[in-house]
Structure 1
Amino acid sequence: DLACNLTFSNRLCLEIFGLSERDRAGGISVMDYIAPEDRKRAEADIHAVAGGMPGRGQEYLLKRNDGTRFPGLIIGAAVTDPATGQPVGLRGVIVDLTERKREAQKLLESRERLALALSAGESGIWDVDMGTGIIHDIHQWACQTLGYSEGDLSHITTDAAMKMTHPVDLPAIIQAYSRHLEGETPLFSCEFRLAAKDGQWKHVAIRGKIIERDTDNKPLRITGIINTISPKNANPEENTPLRCSPGHRPTAA
């Protein structure tokens, strides 16, 4: 209800917090299961949703009945009285993010080890924030391989990368990504040409995977590896595109 008293929950919700049906029957205040440092923010979000703001997912630090804490995503919306249109309560879902956070930390550590291993070679790693379009972790590789300076590349976006890509190769890249996005292939793998600072075309291969999606299954992050390869054509200006083939190493068209 609007006083944050729990009036209904399914069995899984109770299990997440280590609660029982008896606990629920005795009365549960939702705020008791939000970590103290996040309660003011949660209260403000609840008042905003009750006041008519569209519900959206928010991450909070939550508490189990035994006192242990875990990260959780709460997605809520107001319940209104059909007769008056006034809010009478809130309903929503809770997602335990513990495993997702653990996997993200493992991925971060793995990427750090990979970056160290690749630092001396002509390979690099990239991580795209699909919300902003910013490509992270690619600067060192771009400077070493494409001849750019740090000043040239304060940050690299997907739009900037597309402008640096040979125009003949773009349609196949987009098609390869679309197939991976739709789940048709486990990996996004492609060969194409990038413009170096001196105007020459560098032949590269990328291999990546969508590693995070939102509640609507839209991609949030895609990460992978990029490395230089031997030119497929004797003439770098030739208009024959390189083949993009998701899921396995491509060959020249």
Structure 2
Amino acid sequence: MDNAPTAATANPSNGNQFVTAVWAIVWKDLQIERHTRQTVSVMVMFSLVTVVMFNFALETELDAARNVSTGLLWATILLAGTLGLNRSLAIERENQNIDAVLIAPIDRRAVYLAKVISVTIFTLLLEVVLVFVFIIFFNKPFWQPIVLLVLFLGTIGYVAAGVLITSMTMQTRAREVLLPILLMPLVLPLILPAATAVGEMMTVEPDMSIIRSMVSLVAAYDLVILATGLFTYHLVVES
């Protein structure tokens, strides 16, 4: 009887290796941010300045400001998120961390998924601050569970697309300009239903059928863009 170990017992599980690689990269990103504070702090400060400017600009028209508060929220998230994507991956390039990660014998899909998780965490921290700020400034119920769900799902799709585009433009000289030009049209099918769902929740009698359909579109976008990123990321970083 052959007592030689099988491949399954001789080698670590591919699934365990994948999860370990994802966690290691996410932990690295979190530690870099903890020491440098160059991503979340910049996003938060930029967002606060933007909200204050919007508030002063619409100070004489409080009703108009409340009516467009949903659009202002998503516009602030998009602008600050683009800044965060640029800053997060610029740190990787400046310290040559991304080169070390790509040299390592790990699945490129793990690198992509880890970066999506890291930047999503940073953006969600920003949104926690923004929700409180918008509740105070515009007196709207942004704390509702469905609104928070839409923000969460929208953030995942936005970051998943952003990491893919940022990785494409990272080595170019005009990456700060190219990122928003390429990213904004790509995330438009995500932002429109997400903003519609949140806006509907701000009405006196929200239509739940509209909200459910909009949330379904956001979730579908997330699945499509994540699948696209997972299957094409190795082509992006190796090109």
Shorter-chain TM band: under 0.3
**Which structure has more strand as a fraction of its residues?**
1
**TM-score, normalisation: structure 2:** 0.26
Query: Based on CA coordinates, which of the two structures has the bigger radius of gyration?
Result: 1
The normalised TM-score by structure 1 is 0.25
